[in-house]
Amino acid sequence: MADLASRITKPDEAPPVAAAEALIDEGKSHGLVDSNYDVEVKLSDLQSDVDSPLYSVTSFEQLGLSKQINDGLLAMNFKKPSKIQEKALPLMVSNPPRNMIAQSQSGTGKTAAFVLTALSRVDFSKPEQPQALILAPSRELARQIQAVVGMIGQFCKELIVEAAIPGAVSRELGVRASVVVGTPGTVMDLIKRRQFDVSQLKVLVIDEADNMLDQQGLGEQCARVKGMLPKSIQILLFSATFPEKVMAYAERYAPNANQIKLQQQELTVKGISQMYMDCPDEQKKYDVLCQLYGLMTIGSSVIFVRTRESANEIQRRMEADGHKVSVLHGAHEGANRDTLLDDFRSGRSKVLITTNVLARGIDVSSVSMVINYDIPMKGVGRDQEPDPETYLHRIGRTGRFGRVGVSISFVYDQKSFQALSQIAEHYDIDLIQLSPDDWDMTEKKVQDVIKSSRAKPDYVPSAQH
């Protein structure tokens, strides 16, 4: 097993800057409240780089979608499809419908790929009749996808999209929408209580499918939901990660599916510079975090911790120390969670402490830094092991669609060092070391990346890091 030391870049080596260092004409691309952080990425350059996951040769018009949907894409300033959109869409919208298992790196536009397919299956003459169901693991992600459906479908006049998340569906009316986006537990309850007529559903999408089908987690609920749906339903499974043990089950869940898969080494996003901070001991992690505060607020940042309790505790201490931070986790009540995330999207709050509840799918383009305060682990007690999938999803909250970002993972002892080392080995990546004893260098390394998002004329894309 290679240790982390062998994956450290030399101190004088500049952090890898993404091929994404270029400019986006950042027309606000979706209807979600989002901040105006002026990231500049030359998307057109990236989209013509054959090695980029954003590369494509076609246009949306060539994909044969309806005029209303193409107008929606235009309004969102989506000029060209990304690779996953270009490859998956023709297979998903064709007839007779076929199942799909699709993998693509974080932030590369999987949502639009499945939303476009769902919309293409809707008969808008029956707007209150559920025809497409999209499942996601958290209320936040379900709401976000609901907003994307609304944006892409903004010119489909009859479209109704509803969130099936706790507290959202009226008991008297039940579900009355053509597209339903929900979490599996709530969807299951609604179907059982006969408040959700699934008889005419044509397509089932499962986002973050490896997580959703995992038998240790939401797998059972998703299996039960599927059991209640029409047998002929088209099933689309999407994620950035599909560990082998889930893949076998996914293939049974979505039989005879077309598949788009990535190699393990292709999974990391080049725009994200992955760093680690060698903290002297566990207690000092907190001091290091506070010292990073200035860098965290250049853009927006997400701090991932293991438990709700430590999230609360870190917030309490940071606020007492004069820093402005918010915290969001599963113990908060739904409406409160919605406000907290809306505030973060809009830039009203810039540093968000959270747990794995927000590790997947959340798309806030201003996030320039992700901190793994605790290295993600799976399993319990002595059986704990590093969790490479959660690591990838967590750091993927930055570097969205060609933007650049930094992730900093805290290590402080042999165990955390080894865990991160195994994750680095899993993806065959090098991590850049930061030292709490040299803040000038730390600041330089981080700022070089974050500020590099404003293109320099003499920029030469660095090699794979």
Ligand X SMILES: Nc1ncnc2c1ncn2[C@@H]1O[C@H](COP(=O)(O)OP(=O)(O)OP(=O)(O)O)[C@@H](O)[C@H]1O
Indicate which single residue of 326, 365, 366, 407 sits in contact with ligand X (rule: CB under 6 A): 365
Site for ligand X in 230-249 (CB under 6 A): 240
Asked whether 121 and 234 are in contact (CB, 8 A), the reply is: yes
Task: State the greatest distance between any 2 C-alpha atoms of the chain, in Å, as a whole number.
Answer: 65
At 121, list the tokens: 């299956």
Using CB under 6 A as the binding rule, whether residue 81 contacts ligand X is answered as yes
Asked whether 275 and 446 are in contact (CB, 8 A), the reply is: yes
Using CB under 6 A as the binding rule, whether residue 337 contacts ligand X is answered as no
Q: Up-side HSE of residue 371: CA atoms within 13 Å toward CB?
A: 27
Dihedral over alpha carbons 74, 145, 215, 92 (to 10 degrees) = -30
Using CB under 6 A as the binding rule, whether residue 299 contacts ligand X is answered as no
Q: 3-state class of 20 per DSSP? A: coil
At 23, list the tokens: 């400019």
Closest CB 362 distance from ligand X, rounded Å: 7
Asked whether 422 and 386 are in contact (CB, 8 A), the reply is: yes
Closest CB 238 distance from ligand X, rounded Å: 7
Nearer to ligand X among residue 138 and residue 442 (C-beta): 138
Closest CB 43 distance from ligand X, rounded Å: 7
The dihedral of CA 427, 432, 434, 435: what is its sign?
Answer: positive
147: Cβ contacts below 8 Å, ≥ 6 apart: 30, 31, 32
Closest CB 74 distance from ligand X, rounded Å: 11
Using CB under 6 A as the binding rule, whether residue 206 contacts ligand X is answered as no
Indicate which single residue of 87, 110, 329, 394 sits in contact with ligand X (rule: CB under 6 A): 110
Count the Cβ atoms, other than its own, within 10 Å of residue 127: 18
Indicate which single residue of 271, 361, 376, 399 sits in contact with ligand X (rule: CB under 6 A): 361
Indicate which single residue of 16, 72, 109, 184 sits in contact with ligand X (rule: CB under 6 A): 109
Closest CB 20 distance from ligand X, rounded Å: 12
The dihedral of CA 308, 364, 37, 298: what is its sign?
Answer: positive
Using CB under 6 A as the binding rule, whether residue 345 contacts ligand X is answered as no
Using CB under 6 A as the binding rule, whether residue 301 contacts ligand X is answered as no
Using CB under 6 A as the binding rule, whether residue 117 contacts ligand X is answered as no
Closest CB 155 distance from ligand X, rounded Å: 17
Indicate which single residue of 108, 355, 366, 452 sits in contact with ligand X (rule: CB under 6 A): 108
Nearer to ligand X among residue 47 and residue 421 (C-beta): 47
Using CB under 6 A as the binding rule, whether residue 271 contacts ligand X is answered as no
Using CB under 6 A as the binding rule, whether residue 112 contacts ligand X is answered as yes
Asked whether 367 and 373 are in contact (CB, 8 A), the reply is: no
Using CB under 6 A as the binding rule, whether residue 82 contacts ligand X is answered as yes
Using CB under 6 A as the binding rule, whether residue 114 contacts ligand X is answered as no
Closest CB 123 distance from ligand X, rounded Å: 25
Size of interface with ligand X, in residues (CB under 6 A): 22
Residue labelled with tokens 């999987």: 110
Q: How far apart are CA 131 and CA 72, in angstroms?
A: 20
The dihedral of CA 298, 303, 309, 313: what is its sign?
Answer: negative
Quick one: 14 exposed, middle or buried, by C-beta within 10 A (0-12, 13-18, 19+)? Answer: middle
Indicate which single residue of 37, 78, 276, 412 sits in contact with ligand X (rule: CB under 6 A): 78
Site string for ligand X, 27-66 (x = CB under 6 A): --xx------------------------------------
DSSP for 141-167, written as a single string: HHHHHHHHHHHHTTT-TT--EEEESTT
Site for ligand X in 372-431 (CB under 6 A): 396, 400-401
Using CB under 6 A as the binding rule, whether residue 137 contacts ligand X is answered as no
Q: How far apart are CA 279 and CA 437, in angstroms?
A: 9
Q: Which residues are at the interface with ligand X (CB under 6 A)?
A: 29-30, 78, 80-82, 85, 104, 106-112, 240, 361, 363, 365, 396, 400-401
